[in-house]
Amino acid sequence: MSLPSSFDTADQNDLNQLVFHEKIIKHCKQQPLVPLGVLGTTGAIILAIKNMKNGDKRRANYWFRWRVGLQGATVVALVIGSLIYGGTSAAAKKTQDDLNREKAKKREALWIQELERRDEESKARRKKAQEARSKSQQMAEESSKLQDELKKLEQEIKLSAQGKSNKD
């Protein structure tokens, strides 16, 4: 699971994840008149170049004029398309903003869950460490008691050995 990042932005991620031809299709759907103008302009240039190669200057000039007209029409289509489709784009942007807010809330919730999980793990580790310390302390106390008992027994053995040697 990847952790959320404050550097994530939906527009950049969505556009960066698209392949080149998908980007072209997306932009063509946003501005459908522009690709038609580009194709018309390209066709006019190709015909003008073809006529120049053939030596027909009059016809080449004719197609160059068409190219200028089609380029102008493309620019007009771009402006009109941005005015027309810009209004729907604002609604789409609002929807995208709502989606971004929802996504941010989900990211925040995931981050909080991750922090809570880490906190629980930390508490469990502290509890285990405390139990281990108390068990170690308890074992140390038992060990010292056993050592004291051993010393007492050794002293008793020495005393009894001395008492037996005194009786003999």
Is residue 8 assigned to a domain? Answer: no
Is residue 78 assigned to a domain? Answer: yes
Q: What is the mean pLDDT of the chain?
A: 86
Is residue 21 assigned to a domain? Answer: yes
∠ Cα 112 102 17 (to 5°): 100
Rounded-to-integer distance, Cα 148 and Cα 144, Å:
6
Q: Are 89 and 30 in contact (CB under 8 A)?
A: yes
Query: pLDDT, tens digit, for every residue of 14-40?
Result: 667 888 888 888 888 878 888 888 899
Lowest mean pLDDT among 4-18, 23-37, 86-100, 122-136: 4-18
What domain range includes position 137? 16-161
What share of the chain in percent tops pLDDT 90?
55
Is residue 127 assigned to a domain? Answer: yes
Number of domains in the chain: 1
pTM score: 0.44
Is residue 4 assigned to a domain? Answer: no
What are the start-end ranges of the H helices in 8-56? 10-17, 20-30, 33-54
Give me the residue label for tokens 């197609």: 63
* Mean pLDDT in residue range 106-133: 95
